[in-house]
Structure 1
């Protein structure tokens, strides 16, 4: 934890941190980009959209790990326990700040993505266009995204990584993506710091 956070828990005295606004329109934005040319997809990404930063302002770290479905993940995907999965951990931060915008862990079914070996290699990250573009390379079209949000105090490891005072609030977001065949194709867990994250939802109603 940084010295600034050790010295005080008064939010008025903490260093200013880049805010991030996450809204549900981002999913359609990502889908619209999935089939765009590489040059168009490479110009910007979801974090830039959420923060207003430029790609050059960001530092991105990822780690892939081959794993198997736990009971929780097996239920989420609708597959047997032990089904091969790809676990992907993401951290993106402003180059001038010490903490990432969030802690992200995403899971994909191996049997759905093995057709494109590039999807199994973390060296190809950040992938222009994100997960929907990756899934598009193996013929998967995302139909809908379900997000569930809860709030709780940060756990000690989370507080250290997100540079938060002990017990500071975090938002826990579980994102489930379904394809046009109603299969779960991505399950992601995000831990978002409460001091810099705004969740914004727009509900469009059909006209009479």
Structure 2
């Protein structure tokens, strides 16, 4: 898997206003892997949780605030091990404005999180990724089927809306031996003197 997050996040945002038929043809995993929708197996589980001190501080809300917790993992149908797994948090009261966003049976959602948020009037302004390498937790070992001694890449993605409020906190993990991260930064030219 190759993640080009800077390009990918803009691609995800640009798809929000495309017709559903177009959004259904390709999602984030397809973008990262080059695989087609029919070659993938998608899993989603939703639950509600109270915001921990850490997550609450990121959202700038009170600890204990009700969150929608969304756990995902995607596998190629020809492989045993998932390509990645992630846990995404959204403020429950905000997303409850569209009851369809509370039901994991609506996954995979055509257009992903950007489109989901657009249904409640939220536009993502910017995304920041915080990447670390670490040993996997026992549940990550079980889901990702990593070997003892393997490491994972953990990406905390923080999405902020145009109003400056954090709208999503997501923790994605990728087996380090199967993942490449590619970041390119556009630099502004020097001013001519």
Identify the residue that residue 183 of structure 2 maps to in structure 1: 201
Matched ranges for 1:50-199 at <5 A: 50-199=32-181
Instruction: Compute the displacement of 1:156 (Å).
Output: 3.3
Identify the residue that residue 17 of structure 2 maps to in structure 1: 35
Instruction: Compute the displacement of 1:113 (Å).
Output: 1.2
CA contact (8 A) 1:152 1:169 kept: yes
Unaligned runs of 5+ in 2: none
Say what the alpha-carbon RMSD is for the aligned residues. 1.0
What's the secondary structure of 2:89's corresponding residue?
Answer: strand
Instruction: Compute the displacement of 1:94 (Å).
Output: 0.2
Identify the residue that residue 21 of structure 1 maps to in structure 2: 2
What's the secondary structure of 2:177's corresponding residue?
Answer: coil
Unaligned runs of 5+ in 1: 1-19
Give the alignment's TM-score, normalised by structure 2.
Answer: 0.95
Give the number of equivalent residue pairs.
Answer: 189
Instruction: Compute the displacement of 1:115 (Å).
Output: 1.1
**Cα deviations by residue, 1:174-193 (Å, 9 ceiling, x for unpaired):** 00000001100000011110
Distance 1:189 1:154 in 2: 13
**Cα deviations by residue, 1:143-163 (Å, 9 ceiling, x for unpaired):** 000100001122333223212
